[in-house]
Amino acid sequence: MLQTRTEISTLLDSRRAGYSLPAEFYARQDIFEADMDVFFRRHWICVGLECDVPEPGDAQVIDVGQTSVILLRDDDNEIQVVHNVCRHRGSRLLDAGSTVISKLVCPYHQWTYELTGELIHAPHMGSDFDRSCHNLKPVHFKSIGGLIYVCLSDNPPADVQRLADTMEERLAPYDIGNAKVAYQSEVIERGNWKLTIENNRECYHCSANHPELCVSFIDLDFGFDPASLSEEDRAEAEEHQALYEERTRIWEEEGHKSAVVEGVVNCTTNFRTQRLIIAGAGESQTPDATAASNKLLGSMTRKDLGDTHLWGHNCWHHFMGDHAVISIIIPLSPDTTMVRTKWIVHKDAVEGVDYDIEKLTSVWVATTEQDAELVARAHSGVLDPAYEPGPYSRFTEQQLDNFATWYVDQMRENGY
Ligand code: FES
Ligand code: FE
């Protein structure tokens, strides 16, 4: 018997504040397509880094749903982002991955474009053919402290400027635009992208699942419930909270922006940043919390300035004195999500001399694999007919409630 599908708007109405989303939002193909349209086409998304293309002629293809864009550096050393669609009959110009080119030459009929996207050669099109009307289509993009954000729609949300204004200053000392990608991984999580983001926005799961990360990571930013903790855990939580408040006060006094800034409620562009403290040796997210690279990033002169954390609705990043970890997600289907992680060091840092690759990468390699397992478990569970939306902890999962509320609001804003 043909079952009538519940309208997306009715499902949005049914979301209960403080609870996870109805299962359909994690499972249905039509909702996935709506998500891709709203959150990965009409919103700004982080797709890469200036230092992914460090030299003129470097190019990298980034696929987001059916859209493919080329991030490249032109002959004037400027970043360009263009659609990977030939203006003749639409052929893809470049294949997935990174390459080095002097011109963009379409493999089909050899239309040839400058690295700026300008069409310079189109054989057999006649003397009256106006090449200038057939340049590659540019993509709206912004470099924010060396992070490349794009918006694939014609009307990018203007409030990205608040993200830019906040982060330009905070990221300047790390000089990520001129850094080096020391290592990159791609993990396909067997789960819906919103489960990937929900998983990232809480550390409720950390103590039981991330032994490597917990050496350096302290979960305190969202508060705790003294009444539900043992005496020992409460003492530790209070100690962490006091340490966080003390260091934040000192860092701010020294001019290192550290306090929370976020754009979530009533914002189109979703972000949160704050400088987190690092446990133990206090330097970096490594197996012993000491720096992995002897050459610090950019103009950093200290290893003890914590972890400038930034997340958005498709990314989360950690900037420490010696290295940064950049994580970007791209949904592939309702039940698969790619997590692309990049480990960034000073451009002159040499592997085996200034840093050990194992020490640099092992914590987040392990954490990313553990998170993929958790997301797969969550996804499998929410597809079970027995699943019903569950309550978020108001102490450790407030950011998930904020995300789900923002998700519903943005769907509505966009006509669903
Ligand atoms: Fe590119 Fe024909 S489709 S040259
Ligand atoms: Fe995790």
CATH code, 105: 2.102.10.10
Residues 49 and 135 in one domain: yes
Residues 111 and 198 in one domain: no
Strand 180-189 to 261-263 pairing: unpaired
Residues 185 and 321 in one domain: yes
Instruction: From residue 43, give the alpha-carbon distance in Å to each of 38, 63, 91, 255, 312.
Output: 7, 16, 26, 32, 11
What pLDDT is recorded for position 1? 41
Q: How far is ligand 2, taken at its centre, from the CA of residue 211, in Å?
A: 10
Q: Does residue 28 have a pLDDT over 90?
A: yes
Residues 149 and 182 in one domain: no
Q: Give 4-19 pLDDT, tens digit per residue.
A: 678 999 999 999 999 9
Q: State the total domains in the chain.
A: 2
Q: Which domain holds residue 86?
A: 45-156
Residues 189 and 318 in one domain: yes
* pLDDT cut 90: percent of the chain above it: 90
Find all residues with CB under 8 Å of 270, minimum gap 6, and list them. 43, 263, 264, 312, 313, 403, 406
Q: For residues 370 and 368, what is the distance between their CA atoms, to the nearest angstrom?
A: 5
Q: Does residue 2 have a pLDDT over 60?
A: no
Closest ligand 1 atom to Cα of 122: 4
Q: Give 59-100 pLDDT, tens digit per residue.
A: 999 999 999 999 999 999 999 999 999 999 999 999 999 999
Residue 6 lies in a domain: no
Q: Does residue 221 have a pLDDT over 80?
A: no
Residue 175 lies in a domain: yes
Q: Which of 125, 156, 187 is the last residue of a domain?
A: 156
Find all residues with CB under 8 Å of 210, minimum gap 6, and list them. 217, 366, 367, 370
Cβ–ligand 1 distance for 111 under 6 Å, the answer yes
Residues 149 and 202 in one domain: no
Instruction: From residue 177, give the alpha-carbon distance in Å to each of 52, 303, 341.
Output: 9, 20, 16
pTM: 0.96
Cα 135 versus chain centre, distance: 30
Cβ–ligand 1 distance for 88 under 6 Å, the answer yes
| Nearest ligand to the C-alpha atom of residue 106 | 1
| Nearest ligand to the C-alpha atom of residue 210 | 2
Helices 29-39, 398-413: axis angle to 10 degrees equals 90
Residue 384 lies in a domain: yes
Residue 300 lies in a domain: yes
Q: What is the mean pLDDT of the chain?
A: 95
The secondary structure of residue 3, as a DSSP letter, is P
Cβ–ligand 1 distance for 91 under 6 Å, the answer yes
The closest of 43, 268, 30 to 152, measured between CA atoms, is 43
Write down the residue that tokens 């200038």 correspond to. 132
Q: Give 397-414 pLDDT, tens digit per residue.
A: 999 999 999 999 999 999
The amino acid at 26: Y
Closest ligand 1 atom to Cα of 111: 4
Closest ligand 1 atom to Cα of 93: 1
| Nearest ligand to the C-alpha atom of residue 94 | 1
Q: For residues 64 and 47, what is the distance between their CA atoms, to the nearest angstrom?
A: 9
The protein residue whose alpha carbon is closest to atom 3 in ligand 1 is 89
Q: Which of 132, 156, 180 is the last residue of a domain?
A: 156
Sign of the CA dihedral with 37 first, then 40, 44, and 47 last: negative
Closest ligand 1 atom to Cα of 106: 1
What pLDDT is recorded for position 394? 87
What pLDDT is recorded for position 222? 54
The protein residue whose alpha carbon is closest to atom 2 in ligand 1 is 109
Asked if residues 172 and 297 have their Cβ atoms less than 8 Å apart, the reply is no
Residue 12 lies in a domain: no
Q: How far is ligand 1, taken at its centre, from the CA of residue 85, in Å?
A: 9
Residues 183 and 282 in one domain: yes
What pLDDT is recorded for position 238? 85
pLDDT band at residue 110 under the 50/70/90 scheme: very high
What pLDDT is recorded for position 225? 72
Asked if residues 202 and 326 have their Cβ atoms less than 8 Å apart, the reply is no
pLDDT band at residue 122 under the 50/70/90 scheme: very high
Q: How far is ligand 1, taken at its centre, from the CA of residue 44, in Å?
A: 29
Q: Which of 100, 121, 156 is the last residue of a domain?
A: 156
Residues 172 and 310 in one domain: yes
Residues 193 and 330 in one domain: yes
| Nearest ligand to the C-alpha atom of residue 207 | 2
Mutate to test the pocket of ligand 1, among 68, 103, 108, 134 (most ligand atoms within 8 A of CB): 108
Q: For residues 194 and 191, what is the distance between their CA atoms, to the nearest angstrom?
A: 8
Q: What does the radius of gyration of the chain's CA atoms come to, in whole angstroms?
A: 23
Q: SS3 of 354, please?
A: coil
Residue 40 lies in a domain: no
Residues 61 and 151 in one domain: yes
Residues 211 and 339 in one domain: yes
Instruction: From residue 27, give the alpha-carbon distance in Å to each of 22, 23, 31, 302, 379.
Output: 10, 6, 8, 46, 9
Neighbour-count burial for 142-178, b at 16+ CB within 10 Å, e otherwise? bbbbbbbbbbbeeebbebbebbbebbeebbebbbbbe
From edge to edge, which strands make up the β-sheet containing 147-151? 45-49, 147-151, 140-144
Q: For residues 13 and 316, what is the distance between their CA atoms, to the nearest angstrom?
A: 29
Write down the residue that tokens 């014609």 correspond to. 154
Give ∠ CA 163-364-252 in degrees, rounded to 5: 40
Q: Give 234-257 pLDDT, tens digit per residue.
A: 888 888 888 899 999 999 999 999
Residues 53 and 181 in one domain: no
Higher pLDDT, 218 or 53: 53
CATH code, 409: 3.90.380.10
**DSSP letter string over 203-264?**
-TTHHHH-TTGGGTB---TT---GGGS-HHHHHHHHHHHHHHHHHHHHHHHTT---S-EEE-
Q: Does residue 363 have a pLDDT over 50?
A: yes
Residue 3 lies in a domain: no
Q: Does residue 306 have a pLDDT over 50?
A: yes
Q: Count CA within 13 A, CB hemisphere, residue 334.
A: 15
Q: Does residue 27 have a pLDDT over 60?
A: yes
Mean pLDDT score, 379-400: 95
Cβ–ligand 1 distance for 108 under 6 Å, the answer yes
| Nearest ligand to the C-alpha atom of residue 136 | 1
What pLDDT is recorded for position 234? 82
Mutate to test the pocket of ligand 1, among 91, 92, 124 (most ligand atoms within 8 A of CB): 91
Asked if residues 325 and 343 have their Cβ atoms less than 8 Å apart, the reply is yes
The protein residue whose alpha carbon is closest to atom 4 in ligand 1 is 109
Helix H or strand E encompassing 58: strand 58-64
Residue 2 lies in a domain: no
Q: Give 307-347 pLDDT, tens digit per residue.
A: 999 999 999 999 999 999 999 999 999 999 999 999 999 99
Mean pLDDT score, 174-203: 97
Give ∠ CA 348-179-142 in degrees, rounded to 5: 160
